Amino acid sequence: MASIQNTAHVNRLSEATSPYLLQHKHNPVDWWTWGPEALAEAKASDRPILLSVGYAACHWCHVMAHESFEDEATARVMNELFVNIKVDREERPDIDQIYMNALHLLGEQGGWPLTMFLTPQAEPVWGGTYFPKEARFGRPAFVDVLREVSRLFREEPNRIEQNRAALLARLADKARPAGRVTIGLKELDAAGMQVGNMFDSINGGLRGAPKFPQPAILEMLWRAGLRTKDARFFETVEHTLERMSEGGIYDHLGGGFSRYSVDEKWLVPHFEKMLYDNAQLLELLALAWQHSGALIFARRARETVAWLAREMTTDGGAFAASLDADSEGEEGKFYVWSKSEILELLGPDDGEFFARHYDVSDEGNFEGHNILNRLNTVPRSEADEARLSQLRAALLRGRSGRVRPGLDDKVLADWNGLMIGALVNASILLDEPNWLAMAERAFDFIARSMTKGLRLGHSWRDDKLLFPGLASDFAAMIRAALALYEATGGRSYLGHALAWQTAFDTHYADSDTGWYFLSADDASDLLLRPHSTQDDAIPNPNAVAAQNLVRLAALTGDDKWREKADRLIEGILSAADRNLFGHVALLNALDLRLRGAEIVVTGKDSERFARTALKMPFVERIVLRAADATELAASHPAQENIKSARNAIFVCIGERCSLPITEPADIAAVLAAMRGS
């Protein structure tokens, strides 16, 4: 049994701002936060470093913390043998990326908690993920691991050196681009078909379990549908979104999607809710609603934004990072129900009616409990839907009396940028102006509170800013600024995008490859600068940056941005060729580069024109307002046309522009004709 943690004791983490780090402030472990002081202590004491990386919504992080980090005996061993550093991966994804990469190179599967052993110089040697307190299922006890690693450092330094040198060499090798590879529309179509064939025709999503939402892959298939007009691509995406929206991965009472489903049917979620998942899914729901008119997509989008406003919006108007999976020490306890609870809250008639529609039974569908879902086909009328809506509201009120999962209320610039862009794009397609206002408030908070000069920070909480920011922060917030500029025409948004892009190029660009490092050139507490191009749970910042550069070229008329985009895309395609499906977001950027339509609206009716132009799918259009020709660059292909037609719409794809359009309803037909479809 783990000993009860002494809450009177506090360690260095009590000075942190991250909710995840603060969860460990009463541990008997002598934790350090990552930084020069911790690294200096390791060198001075000549002790190896035990690096523990996790995040607030991570269930197994909590398990290992309770079993080992709260245990006095385990902590004594950790404190004697190691300098112990605790990192929030959401606050420092650069550190997480370096050492997770090292774990993969050791042939180990990644995951969190990440437990890595480093030399006093912070060089990776060996590691794993969760280690149990007691040996079981072939896993050694954590204390045994600690003692053996420490023994190797003391008694067999040659073995440590071999691991260290090999890992560093392989980490450096992964950053070197290979030969140049060319991918065009034909190859994009073939990749889309290959990915589509990997999808589960019954349950949606990629075949097998666990099932993750994979928004970038769904966007890839959607773009393939727009390119090829093959309905199968749209059907695959819409089927996946529909099954997710009816499954237990979706919170049918409070709104919002959980991180993933542990089964192949989307029934049993890993119950944490992440801001970034819901941002990416919100955009896809809006696209699916616009294409199909299926009410489920509009409903889920509106319910998700209602959850965002109710539970995830901070006092300043920005958005919190995540909701934990656990409450009262049990994963999912806040969300699951017994049938008797539902009957008690709703009464017998309404309770039985609700149970029939939401798969609720006496025996339950998950470890004796019920996860609310609508995966079973039950006929229901609009009157039924109205009744169910009232019953869901009653259960939500009842649920509000339970002990809530922990809220990680730090504000991350990159995740907020994704949600701001999603709110903007979804607000246009679903005619929800309040969502645009939410996006603007969040943007204003980050531009005001999370910047120093022209540079962004990464994480804000309790008036403390973690600075400098990461490439992901710049990429996502530039994307958000450009989305707001297209939606509103507000010049300040374009100004922010240009200023941040300049700072991004100054402090993050790799002049050798044309890629962007994850960390800034003046981030001084890292072993090396992470240089990955592969997607994670969010699109890789290089891919987001590539789309931004394409849009900047169109919106400013400055070809230097297009040249940067081309160099970036071509440079990374070499890596994408070796692992195409790890670079789906880059393929989406390439699609915009090759097919993006620039819609120029001008004259006294430009706002009316813009409203219609913005309704075109945001993944393949760029809307530019120009009151007259002077607002366009001299080299812009629409320049001469605007001089002769002062109140019109022009559609430009590549170097070709349409004749003047005076009726907004004709935009879609002109787009189709210019694309040859």
Q: Which pLDDT belongs to residue 152? A: 82
Residues 271 and 251: their CA atoms lie apart, in Å, by 9
Specify if 396 maps to a domain: yes
The pLDDT-based confidence of 318 (bands split at 50, 70, 90) is very high
| Domain-located, residue 298 | yes
Cα 605 from Cα 542, distance rounded (Å): 37
Same domain, 154 and 71: yes
CB 117 within 8 A of CB 47: no
pLDDT of residue 137: 54
Out of 595, 623, 651, pick the residue that ends a domain.
595
Q: Which of 474, 454, 479, 482 is nearest to 412 (CA)?
A: 474
DSSP class per residue in 222-250? HHHHHHH--HHHHHHHHHHHHHHHHSTTB
With pLDDT > 70 as the criterion, what percentage of the chain qualifies? Answer: 93
With cut-offs at 50, 70 and 90, classify the pLDDT of residue 166: low
Claim to verify: residue 527 and residue 629 sit in the same structural domain: no
Shared-domain flag, residues 414 and 313:
yes
If one compares 559 and 39, the residue with the highest pLDDT of the two is 39
Residue 283's contacts (CB-CB under 8 Å, 6 or more residues apart) are: 215, 219, 421, 422, 425, 426, 618
pLDDT for 58:
81
- Write out pLDDT tens, residues 555-613: 988 889 988 998 899 888 876 767 878 999 999 999 999 899 999 998 888 899 999 99
Percent of the chain exceeding pLDDT 90 equals 70
Considering the domain architecture, whether residues 459 and 582 belong to the same structural domain is answered as: yes
Q: Is the pLDDT of residue 494 over 50?
A: yes
pLDDT given for residue 551 in this prediction: 96
Return the residue matching tokens 């911790």: 38
The reply to whether 482 and 583 lie within a common domain is yes
In single-letter form, the type of residue at position 312 comes to M
Q: What is the pLDDT of residues 204-256, one digit of tens each?
A: 999 999 999 999 999 999 999 999 999 999 999 999 999 999 999 999 999 99
421 found inside a domain: yes
| Residue 578 confidence (pLDDT) | 72
Instruction: Give the pLDDT of residue 316.
Output: 95
Burial class (CB in 10 A: 0-12, 13-18, 19+), 554: buried
Q: How many CB atoms lie within 10 A of CB 295?
A: 11
Residue 7 lies inside a defined structural domain of this protein: no
Domain annotation covers residue 550: yes
Query: What does pLDDT average to over the chain?
Result: 90
Tell me, yes or no, whether 262 lies in a domain.
yes
Residues 647, 582 share a domain: no
Task: Of 638, 486, 507, give the one whose Cα is nearest residue 552.
Answer: 486
What SS3 state is found at 538? Answer: coil
- 457 and 443, same structural domain? yes
Q: How many Å apart are CA 409 and CA 74, to the nearest integer?
A: 30
Q: Are residue 436 and residue 486 in the same domain, yes or no?
A: yes
pLDDT, mean of residues 28-56: 94
pLDDT at 1: 37
Residue 168: per-residue pLDDT: 52
Report how far residue 316's alpha carbon sits from residue 447's, in angstroms, rounded to the nearest whole number. 12
Q: Which one has a higher pLDDT value, 2 or 10?
A: 10
Would residue 514 count as lying in a domain?
Answer: yes
Is there a contact between 58 and 112 (Cβ–Cβ < 8 Å)? Answer: yes
**586 close to 547: Cβ distance less than 8 angstroms:** no
Between the CA of residue 279 and those of 283, 314, 506, what are the distances in Å?
A: 7, 16, 28
Q: What is the pLDDT at residue 79?
A: 96
- Does any domain span residue 180? no
- State the residue range of the domain holding 139: 12-174
Convert 143-182 to b/e letters by CB count within 10 Å (16 or more is b).
Answer: bebbeebbebbeeeeeebeebbeebbeebeeebebeeeee
Same domain membership, residue 147 and residue 26: yes
Contact, 50 vs 82, CB < 8 A? yes
Query: For residue 176, what pLDDT band results from cuts at 50, 70 and 90?
Result: very low
Question: How many Å apart are CA 74 and CA 50, to the nearest integer?
Answer: 13
Higher pLDDT, 499 or 326: 499
In sequence order, the β-bridge partners of residue 455 are 452
| Element containing residue 394 per DSSP (H, E) | helix 382-399
Going by pLDDT thresholds of 50, 70 and 90, the confidence category of residue 677 is low
Which of residues 121, 147, 174 is at a domain's end? 174
Claim to verify: residue 394 and residue 476 sit in the same structural domain: no
The residue among 595, 615, 636 that closes a domain is 595
Expressed in angstroms, the distance from the first to the final Cα of the chain is 68
Structure-block tokens of residue 674? 């210019």
* Domain count across the chain: 4
Task: State pTM to two decimals.
Answer: 0.87
pLDDT band for position 135 (50/70/90)? confident
Q: What is the pLDDT of residue 198?
A: 95
What CATH number is attached to the domain comprising 274? 1.50.10.10
More confident residue, 288 or 183: 288
Task: Please check the confidence at residue 57 and state whether its pLDDT lies above 90.
Answer: no
- Region 39-51: mean pLDDT is 94
| pLDDT tier at 174, thresholds 50, 70, 90 | very low
Q: Is the pLDDT assigned to residue 377 strictly greater than 60?
A: yes
pLDDT in tens, 447-481: 999 999 999 999 999 999 999 999 999 999 999 99
Give the separation between CA 400 and CA 428, rounded to whole angstroms. 32
Same domain flag for 579 and 607? no
pLDDT per residue as tens digits for the range 631-644:
777 766 667 667 76
Residues 513, 390 share a domain: no
- CATH number, domain of 124, equals 3.40.30.10
